[in-house]
């Protein structure tokens, strides 16, 4: 999978016996040091935008935990496109790196096993229905600038300008 540098024992240690997750430490360990992803078409499909940056258009993997790459083929990833992860039944945790400013419509809709998502503080847009039908979702965790909150919750970065309908 995409978790080459992950310390699995440390990751397990962030989940208590009652199932409560220390989201800050969980995503910090999950991110680790990830290699640049190359080539396109293996696990991620991507489209080059007019400014030379990349948008992920489809995830074709089956991992339970995914760290989205910051670069694909040497180009900075700035967006997760419409429906890119939609209806993935195995995905449980995803870490969205800094540099991603947009999560498209239906990007993660129907990901029924998705429990936690780490999003960057520079996120500007979450599209309509981006997380609809994510019935297991417990946390949208901001990696920068937010205090830990007990239990389930959602906190958005100050940079967020657009939140689509039923996101």
Kindly report, residue by residue over 106-158, the tens digit of the pLDDT: 999 999 999 888 888 788 888 888 899 988 888 887 765 443 433 444 555 55
| Separation CA 120–CA 89 (nearest Å) | 24
Q: What is the average pLDDT across 66-70?
A: 87
Distances (CA, A) of 28 to 5, 19, 31, 75: 12, 18, 5, 24
Q: How much is the pLDDT for 146? A: 44
Whether 14 contacts 24, CB under 8 Å: no
Nearest to 85 by CA among 70, 96, 73, 101: 96
Distances (CA, A) of 138 to 79, 153, 154, 159: 23, 7, 9, 22
- For all residues of the chain together, what is the average pLDDT? 76
Q: What is the average pLDDT across 19-33?
A: 65
| Separation CA 108–CA 5 (nearest Å) | 25
Q: SS3 for 103?
A: strand
Q: What is the average pLDDT across 48-55?
A: 95
Query: What is the band of 6 on the pLDDT scale with cuts at 50, 70, 90?
Result: low
User: Which of 9-13, 73-77, 131-135, 149-153 is least confident?
Assistant: 149-153
Place of tokens 């040497």: 74
For 125, which DSSP code?
Answer: E
Residue 25 phi/psi, 5-degree rounding, is -70, -35
Longest dimension (CA), the chain: 48
Q: Which residue has the higher pLDDT, 107 or 36?
A: 107
Q: Residue 59 pLDDT more than 80?
A: yes
């Amino acid at each position: 999978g995409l978790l080459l540098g992950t310390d699995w024992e440390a990751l397990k240690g962030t989940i208590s016996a009652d199932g409560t997750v220390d989201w800050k430490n969980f995503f910090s360990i999950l991110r680790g040091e990830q290699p640049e992803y190359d080539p396109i078409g293996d696990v991620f499909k991507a489209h080059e935008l007019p400014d030379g940056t990349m948008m992920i258009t489809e995830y074709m993997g089956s991992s339970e935990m995914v760290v989205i790459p910051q670069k694909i083929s040497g180009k900075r990833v700035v967006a997760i496109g419409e429906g890119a992860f939609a209806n993935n039944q195995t995905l449980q945790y995803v870490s969205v790196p800094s540099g991603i400013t947009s999560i498209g419509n239906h990007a993660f809709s129907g990901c029924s096993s998705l429990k936690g998502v780490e999003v960057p503080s520079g996120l500007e847009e979450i599209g309509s229905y981006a997380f609809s039908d994510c019935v297991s979702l417990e946390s949208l965790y901001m990696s920068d600038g937010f205090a830990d909150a007990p239990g389930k919750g959602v906190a958005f970065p100050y940079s967020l300008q657009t939140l689509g309908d039923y996101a």
